[in-house]
Structure 1
Amino acid sequence: MTDKKPGFFKRLFGVDTPAPPETRPPEPVVTPPEPVLPTPVPPPDVVPAPEDFPLPGPPETTPDYVEDLEEQAAAVIAPEPEPEPEPVAEPVPEPEATVFVPLDPPAVVEVPVEAPRQSWFTRLASGLKRSSDQLTGSITSVFTKRKLDAATLDELEDVLIQADLGIDTAMAITETLRRDRFDKDVSGEDVRAVLAAEVEKVLGPVARPLTIDASQKPFVILMIGVNGSGKTTTIGKLAQKFAAEGKSVMLAAGDTFRAAAIEQLQVWGQRTNATVISRPAGSDASGLAFDAVTQARAEGRDVLIIDTAGRLQNRDELMNELEKVIRVIKKVAPTAPHATILTLDATTGQNALKQVEIFGQRAGVTGLVMTKLDGTARGGILVAIAKKFGLPVHFIGVGESVGDLEPFTASEFARAIAGD
């Protein structure tokens, strides 16, 4: 027979039936110990937020340990005070370099001495050196201490003509030698002396300065010439000379074909404190001349210098424009222009003779300025021009600076070209 399985109470309490309540022994009362919570230490680089410390229960029942945690959290959350800025150290200046000066011998300080300005004749002779060297060299080769005969005179005449002195001047020199020294010993020095005397004789009557008539206000100067003859540069140099004399100067940029010429004249105006009348490139040159004369008269200027565009003497339409400019000037001032100056480039040689002829016929040239004598071996062309036309030669130029444009002197030019 199978054993009866014990009941639930038997298996739970070891008895078949539970004891009545009054017979059960009282259960022992166990009081649980208060929990000890560890003090949380936040990581050094993490700032705990207030929500990381929830408060259990209502505020009136908050345990003491929670208040401690709140104080710790507040201490952690509180921003750290900003550190005071470190004082910036003042920069320490670098020590000055030590200069060693030897005591024996004592140091010598050289003071640059400005070279004295050369005289005008020295500059003129230097500028005409190419012309004089070629001329005197050819003369020396012809005369080597031999008697003067007809063949020698013919050879000398060819040399003088090739130097652009002109046929008339060449013949005058050879005739003088034929009359005074024929069949006598003649040296190169003798020929150069005769050359200088004959050149001075030709140039003496035309060496006349440019005179400004004070009764004409303004005294109108019209500058004309072919392309590249140096008109604009000559205007600037003349303006500076007149300003140095105490005259009030006005410039008119009448070369309206070239913007560079307008700008160049404006620069000269700044240098000389002269008013410059200009219009945009391509404007009507005659209209600009009209405005310039009108304004110069209103302001009582002493001198008005009008630039014009370079033009070839064989271009009829360009010469017609020049004639128009002159007509317009006369509408404002009937006696103007009071001086019409033709600038000649010495390097053009024989072509300069044709320029003087055509410009004289069309524009009424009253005087000449010869430029660039330092750039040619044929400076004798000035002698040929003076002999043929007899026009006054006011200035000659042998360089780019203001001091290289001077009033023309016949004796100095004759000495310089003869290599004296």
Structure 2
Amino acid sequence: MSFDVKKFQKELAQQKVYDTWQYVNSLREMLTYMNMSCELLDKVYAQRAVKLKEKEQEIMRKVVETGKASVYESDLHCTDLEIAGLTIDDGLFLQKTTMEFFHYARMCSDILFQIINAALLGDSSFQVDDRGIIKNVNDSIDGNPNFSTLKSLLDANKNDDTFKYIQAFDNYIKHIKTVLVTVKSSFMLGNNNEFIIQEFINSGITYPAQDAITIVEKANKYINETVEAILTEVQNQLPNCVDNSQRIHNISFKFVAKQLEKGIQGDYMSFFIDVENDISELPTEIKVLPLIIKPNDDIYSFDFKFKKIFIRKKGTDEDGIIGCAEIKNGFDTNEFYRIFTVRACNITEYYSYISTFTQEYPKISVNFAAMEGSTIIYQD
């Protein structure tokens, strides 16, 4: 795939939809599994033919040399695979890998909707565990003229015969649990070699028998090309994200610690969001993910697990505090961008925060590379 994934990652960060990146990584993983399965099927089936031919030639040589030869059951296992000390029937391996291939191919298509949901719907996205997410995402982009090309690509995929076959095979295997894949090879007599996905019926539609290698290679090519086309259009539409107005990446910090004989001992760490004049410049709820894109395009972020972020006037320090943002749903959630409620507060609340910081947070975990700020180390 020629798609520039690194560039896409940077643009997701720039557009404040970086939660999409986890789904992009899942997609890349599924594509790797799918492509690997396709290659294994090609190689193992080709090797099967070679091994059988070699065994036939070996037996025929014995006939020529001795005038007779016997075929034993062990001869029929000449195609077995040796993997990590295990002997595996290559026919079973081909059946198993074929089923896995179509599942991975189907997963690649499904994950695209998670990517579209997160990247283009932003704060209006559907929950990741929404069972109707494919239909809901389709419906949401359908009425948006910015996404007309993307909708056309999705509709074309839905109506494509190769995708229909992928979807039907995966559904059939998942719900009916019938082994559809047949592997047969002639040995010594005849030339009947087949690796076939048998005919099956899913949702009232009959799917005829197919040569397994042919349909797998076709499906593999189709999914790779479709994924690239859809990702490219998602990338084109990132500036048209429906809503990312609540999201904040720019968090600054102040870390104060005491110099000890060996190392340092933290006193407190506070976090800030800067505004020009007052807290009305922020929504009543904000979604926070500390994130910085470095000049070399490396991206640093981390899961922010602190209960308060203080809001101050730009260009000031603690003396400019005019409000705070407080965690809304706690930390035992799947939120990638943590939700905070914005309210007014004064310096007294800040002093209370720093005076109890070590009791509230006996251990802290931060990525300093994901924020700008200052570190003050003092000696008694």
Same structural fold, with TM-score higher than 0.5 when normalized by the shorter chain: no
Give the TM-score band, short-chain normalised. under 0.3
Q: Structure 2 length as normaliser, TM-score?
A: 0.22
Q: Which has the larger radius of gyration?
A: 1
Specify which structure has the higher proportion of strand: 2
Asked which structure has the greater RCO (Cα within 8 Å, sep 6+), the reply is: 1
In the superposition, the TM-score normalised over structure 1's length comes to 0.20
